Amino acid sequence: MGMSVLSALFGAALALLALSGINRGTLVLNEQADVLSLTDQLDRLSSRAGALENEVEALRARLDALEGLTVRVAEMETGLKNLDAALDTLEADAAALGERTEALAADMEAVRAAAVRFDAFLNGLRALLAESESTPQPARTPQPTATSAPSQTPIARPSRTPRPSATATPRG
């Protein structure tokens, strides 16, 4: 067994000598310019990958929020369409009300004209009554009429008055 340990140590020393020759006399593997450059590049790419992952997560969160907004925007568009329809209805109602108001104004004008005519009639009637009360009307003189010749006045003659008698009641 001693020999096998010795040969293992001798093999390890030989491997280390070969490595030292490859690495320009040193056994540290990470000190070569290429390895250090690759390590720096790996660190930069790793940090860049982490930053990109954070950006992706932020974008994913924003996308989820936007997807929620899409539903809300669709609901708002539907609500706006309903409001437009209601507004159209209100505009039509307002137009109809305007027409009715114009018709009512025309009717009111006709009523005003009739009231003016009626007031004029009443004023004329008042003036006529006042005029007839203030001026006396000449009294009419009766015209003589022809009378017939006098005749004898009729006189009532006595008559027989019936006497009350008992009425027979049927029995039966």
Token couple for 168 = 């027979």
Q: How far apart are CA 126 and CA 132, in angstroms?
A: 10
Residue 8 clears pLDDT 60, i.e. is over it: yes
Average pLDDT of span 108-113: 93
φ, ψ dihedrals at 50, nearest 5°: -65, -45
Confidence of residue 28 (pLDDT cuts 50, 70, 90): low
Q: How far apart are CA 122 and CA 167, in angstroms?
A: 70
Token couple for 135 = 């001026």
**Which one is predicted more confidently, 48 or 151?**
48
Summarize pLDDT for 132-156 with one digit per residue, the tens. Answer: 777 666 667 777 777 777 777 777 7
Q: How far apart are CA 97 and CA 95, in angstroms?
A: 5
Most confident of 21-25, 29-33, 119-123: 119-123
Q: What is the pLDDT of residue 84?
A: 94
Confidence of residue 64 (pLDDT cuts 50, 70, 90): confident
Q: What is the pLDDT of residue 88?
A: 94
SS (H, E, C) the chain: CHHHHHHHHHHHHHHHHHHHHHCCCCCCHHHCHHHHHHHHHHHHHHHHHHHHHHHHHHHHHHHHHHHHHHHHHHHHHHHHHHHHHHHHHHHHHHHHHHHHHHHHHHHHHHHHHHHHHHHHHHHHHHHHHHHHHHCCCCCCCCCCCCCCCCCCCCCCCCCCCCCCCCCCCCCC
What is the pTM assigned to this prediction? 0.35
